[in-house]
Structure 1
Amino acid sequence: MASTATPASASRFKPALWVPGDWNAFFGFGTNILVNMLTLTALLRYVLKLPDDLVFGRILPATGLMLFLSTLYYAWLGYKLAKAEGRNTVCALPSGISVPHMFVVVFVIMLPIAGSTGDPVKGWEAGLTWVFVQSFVLMLGGYIAPYIKKITPRAALLGALAGVSIAFISMRPALEMYSDPVIGIVCFAILLASWFGGVRYFKGLPAGLVAIAVGSLIAWGGLAFGVNLGGMSVAKLGDSFASFGFSVPLPAFGHIFSGFEFLAVILVTAIPFGIYDLVEAMDNVESAEAGGDKFPTTRVITADGVISLIGCCLGNPFINAVYIGHPGWKAIGGRLGYSAATGVMVLLLSWFGILALMSALIPLVAISPILLYIGMLIGAQAFQETPRAHAPAVIISLIPQVAGWGKLMIDSALGAAGTNVATVGLDKLAGTGVLYHGLEILGSGAILTSLVLAGVTACMIDRTFAKAATFALAGAVMTFFGFMHSEAIGIARMPGVALAYLGVAALLYGCARFGKVSAREPEADDMHGEAIAAST
């Protein structure tokens, strides 16, 4: 949204620090962050088997401080933008623990090292080193990200996000809702009636708060009648009080450098995921710009790196990231205050050991519909904020993320059964219709693959074949070095796929140089859907 304020009037303008819509966004975003904090707490305690004094006394206080600094910074950045443009419609960028990285650092780095050494603290130290490396990748990469953003079609940037939203944001909460439908579906309807349907609840209560309250009442009410809904338990509630106390983060430099003995293992994932963070942050800044708020890409990515480094140096083994979902929080009224308020909430919860109590009081399934709603908005934005003719580019950008999700589900299921793909055999899986090898190639480095495929497609739709060839060439280079279609970086990781991209680049360059290409008519955006229908 362009500002109409004059420089003089903008300098006198004082943006509102809190508006009524911030309550909606606070309860929605705050519960999103709460879910992530409760999830990582469970991973640290029950998967890694770290002692509670380390979890509640060092790691969570450091995580809370990092999130406090992050949410406060992005509220300030939103304030600067609102003041510069003289408007109160700016929504701060949401930020928090990177959820994909949470699982990667736990299951790919920390857990194997804890298992091989027999010491879960060694796994924690390796996680700190992993974040240490990634932080510098982010800080350095922030200066090249704006150039990538400038040349990449919006369909590629938003399409990659839509894939993430469908596979890794929407699917899990949707499955949780239908696993416990009495709470999940009712809470989902409460949210949609307000956020899509415009329904106002009693005394203007935020829909997110109403949904959580109703879900908790159903769960505890069912328990009173002997029906276990939402996994609530009086025993768990009583045990949660044992974690109460006051802890502040302490420097962890020695633990970071202890983790350097595992550097060879760490670099395999830290560098590719650092690049993933660059692309994801660019996508999320692009998403915010499509929603009317233009933030400086370099400053955003560099801030993520600096804030992650601070958290790491105090004992937090999880990366900070700008979140997908800015349009969703803005649509329900979020502006500046919701971000800062969430940071204060997290600081209090983590420094006073209240997270265990919260997890015992609120059923997770009452919160899941909020995440599904955000996933719906992000997926819709990829189509709403791009040219209609680019819809095929958006669709192809979804496929690598779905492949990555499918592979994760198969690996998790086989692991739970005490086996793996190598033991079962690719041929046996293929015989049942499970093309695991294809999922592995297409799903590895999915966000970069989404960008390249959507970039090539969008440029071909626009008849800019030289630019499409450049995207294909970039795909060939990144594939050759393992950043795409591979689970580890290296030389000639997937030479066949890299050669295929190189062939596509040559073909497209030939089309640009020698081909006779008809220009796409301006009205093609409106006629594109009709053309597809006619061709079928």
Structure 2
Amino acid sequence: MVKTTERTAANLPLWVRGDTNAFFGFGVNVLVNVLTLTALCLGVVRLSSGDVFGTILPALGIALVAGNIYYTVLARRLARRENRTDVTALPYGPSVPHMFIVIFVIMLPIYLRTQDARQAWQAGVAWAFIIGVIVLIGAFVGPYIRRYAPRAALLGTLAGISITFISMNPAGQMWRMAWIALPVLALLLIGLLTDVRLPGNIPIGLAALLLGTAIGWIGGAMSVPDVSAAAGDIALGLPSLQLGLLFDGLAEMAPLLATAIPLGVYNFTEGMTNVESAATAGDNYNLRSVLLADGAGAVIGAALGSPFPPAVYVGHPGWKAAGGRSGYSMATGVVIAVLCFLGMFGLLATIFPTAAIVPILLYIGLLIGAQAFQATPRVHAAAVVAALIPNIAAWATGQMDNVLAAAGTSAAEVGNSALAGAGVVYDGLLVLGQGAILAGLVLGAVVVFIIDKRFTRAAIFAAVGSALAFIGLIHGERIEWNANGQVALGYLFVAVICGLFALAKIPPREPEPEERELDRQHGGRSSAAPASSPDPASSPAPASAPALASADPALPVQRTADPESSAPAGAEATTGGR
């Protein structure tokens, strides 16, 4: 019989020691992203500091504080429902891929054409609003995709985002100033991937930030005059409705749909994979509730003047492994909102070296990449890698485009033949990377079902891939009829081949004991067998799904008796993210 814990969900504390670790880690993560989008608004689109600090950041602050408080409430509700004390809130902040896309794909071309920063801003706001509406619609579709897509495909495409868009740019920034960043990374890895604690239980995230900041200032990487100049820009900015700005942007809505539709689909698919990642870590959230909140956050932010749609972040298992529960999310939302309202981000950029901040993003990339392999059967490893590939292609072509733009040219001007002569298959990588997260999900699912010899399901997913490519949701530059007929035909041929093998009635591969254990642990089906729940949006995790080890020894983990488990009730996983 399992003993009850000292703390129960009935008296769940708002803050535990692990929340401090998670707060400094996740808070720094969001801080970096808001600093980045602030610099993009001021330096790329040339918006005035009054518009950025007086309207955009306060609007973003409202969306973030509302969303993070909502996810705190959601976590506490889940903890009470399952009588657990180890539930971790979902992390929530401005969507990183969309942050760059809205600046460089939507706002910058309009600014360059019109030299009117306000017109570019209103287009960005309208685009973010459309994204939010699509995510709201996706809230009623996403649960069914999650129900039938195999775990290797969902986690593999998420790992692709983590390794590329979340980790690679920070890694480059780290090695540019490695003398600051590498000691910070080492401290984070020791504190978050092992059970080693600092003297006095100093939060590892805070210690790492202070160490990097001290090295940066002592080494001359920072400047006192820069701090003094930035301090003069501090001013109070409160959010207000910007409906005129929004409606002016929506009046020219048609050109925005070409990117808003596939990226809206990307947003709710990413939300879906992040919820799957959280479920794999032991916290099974209601997907529909999450997507509705994501969509509402984008709509509310746009109505207040923010062109940056927020989203649930990659990284829940990392903050869970760091000991975060429900308090870290709310604290992050409140602190970031206050900084947005006070216009403090210009000042913070001059105090903390970037190299001291970005290692936390590399840590998240490491953890999510590892989770994709740890939480799926070894036999499905090839499917995980297949799901990674479209995101790698999308990241690579983005880097190429940025390099060519910096040189004052483009891939179209250079020409595919010249690029191919240099060993760069730009045109193929561009096609492969369009709609990367959805493409990775489809490709990973097809590989899983081929490995499992479930050829009917492989044929169905390949046929879906063909339809998506035909209308441009994957492998197409825009939404249109026959967006990429060659790719659609290729997927269709895959569906035909798998269909022929299905007619041969080949027995499916029998799952190994390891796979049954993974399914039991993570509350899902590695081969996506249909669940028995009539409503995939509200299916709770099975009672046997184990919780992550608490990074806070003062907070015992609620365990459920499992007659199939031979491990002692107190045994816990020690690796982050599992």
TM-score bracket for this pair, using the shorter chain length: over 0.9
2:303 & 2:50 partners in 1: Cα distance?
18
The aligned counterpart of 1:226 is none
- Are 1:410 and 2:400 an aligned pair? yes
1:249 & 1:111 partners in 2: Cα distance?
24
2:10 & 2:472 partners in 1: Cα distance?
50
Q: TM-score of the superposition, structure 1-length normalised?
A: 0.93
2:274 & 2:23 partners in 1: Cα distance?
19
**CA separation of 1:524 and 1:419: change in aligned 2, threshold 3 A:** farther
2:231 & 2:13 partners in 1: Cα distance?
38
1:524 & 1:393 partners in 2: Cα distance?
19
Write the deviation string for residues 93-122 of structure 1: whole angstroms up to 9, x where unpaired.
Answer: 001100000000111111111222221011
2:274 & 2:60 partners in 1: Cα distance?
22
Cα shift at 1:247 = 1.3
1:347 & 1:496 partners in 2: Cα distance?
47
The aligned counterpart of 2:506 is 517
Write the deviation string for residues 157-176 of structure 1: whole angstroms up to 9, x where unpaired.
Answer: 00000000111111111111
**CA separation of 1:157 and 1:4: change in aligned 2, threshold 3 A:** farther
Write the deviation string for residues 408-446 of structure 1: whole angstroms up to 9, x where unpaired.
Answer: 111100100111112211111111110101111111111
Cα shift at 1:520 = 2.3
Instruction: Please tell me the residue identity of whatever aligns with 1:251.
Output: L
2:375 & 2:50 partners in 1: Cα distance?
48
- The counterpart of 1:25, out of the listed 5, 22, 27, is 22
Cα shift at 1:206 = 1.2
The aligned counterpart of 2:431 is 441
> Any stretches of 5+ residues in structure 2 without a counterpart?
516-578
1:115 & 1:242 partners in 2: Cα distance?
30
Cα shift at 1:521 = 4.2
> What is the SS of the residue equivalent to 2:93?
strand
Cα shift at 1:523 = 4.1
Cα shift at 1:262 = 2.6
Instruction: Please tell me the residue identity of whatever aligns with 1:340.
Output: M
The aligned counterpart of 1:243 is 233
Write the deviation string for residues 439-498 of structure 1: whole angstroms up to 9, x where unpaired.
Answer: 111111111110011000001111111111110000000000000111211010110110
Instruction: Please tell me the residue identity of whatever aligns with 1:520.
Output: R
Instruction: Please tell me the residue identity of whatever aligns with 1:26.
Output: F
The aligned counterpart of 2:575 is none
The aligned counterpart of 1:218 is 215
- The counterpart of 1:149, out of the listed 146, 150, 157, is 146
- The counterpart of 2:483, out of the listed 484, 487, 493, is 493
Instruction: Please tell me the residue identity of whatever aligns with 2:426.
Output: Y
Cα shift at 1:272 = 0.6
Cα shift at 1:242 = 1.9
1:158 & 1:386 partners in 2: Cα distance?
9
Cα shift at 1:233 = 2.0
The aligned counterpart of 2:453 is 463
Cα RMSD after superposing both structures: 1.6
The aligned counterpart of 1:505 is 495
- The counterpart of 1:374, out of the listed 364, 371, 377, is 364
- The counterpart of 1:477, out of the listed 467, 476, 479, is 467
- The counterpart of 2:161, out of the listed 161, 164, 167, is 164
- Are 1:201 and 2:198 an aligned pair? yes
Cα shift at 1:518 = 4.5
Instruction: Please tell me the residue identity of whatever aligns with 1:323.
Output: Y
The aligned counterpart of 2:35 is 38
Number of residues of Structure 1 aligned to a counterpart in Structure 2:
512
- Are 1:95 and 2:92 an aligned pair? yes
Percent identity, please: 47
> Any stretches of 5+ residues in structure 1 without a counterpart?
224-228, 527-536
Q: TM-score of the superposition, structure 2-length normalised?
A: 0.87
The aligned counterpart of 1:323 is 313
CA contact (8 A) 2:477 2:483 kept: no
1:524 & 1:314 partners in 2: Cα distance?
53
* Structure with more helix by fraction: 1
Instruction: Please tell me the residue identity of whatever aligns with 2:293.
Output: A
Instruction: Please tell me the residue identity of whatever aligns with 1:517.
Output: I
Cα shift at 1:14 = 2.5
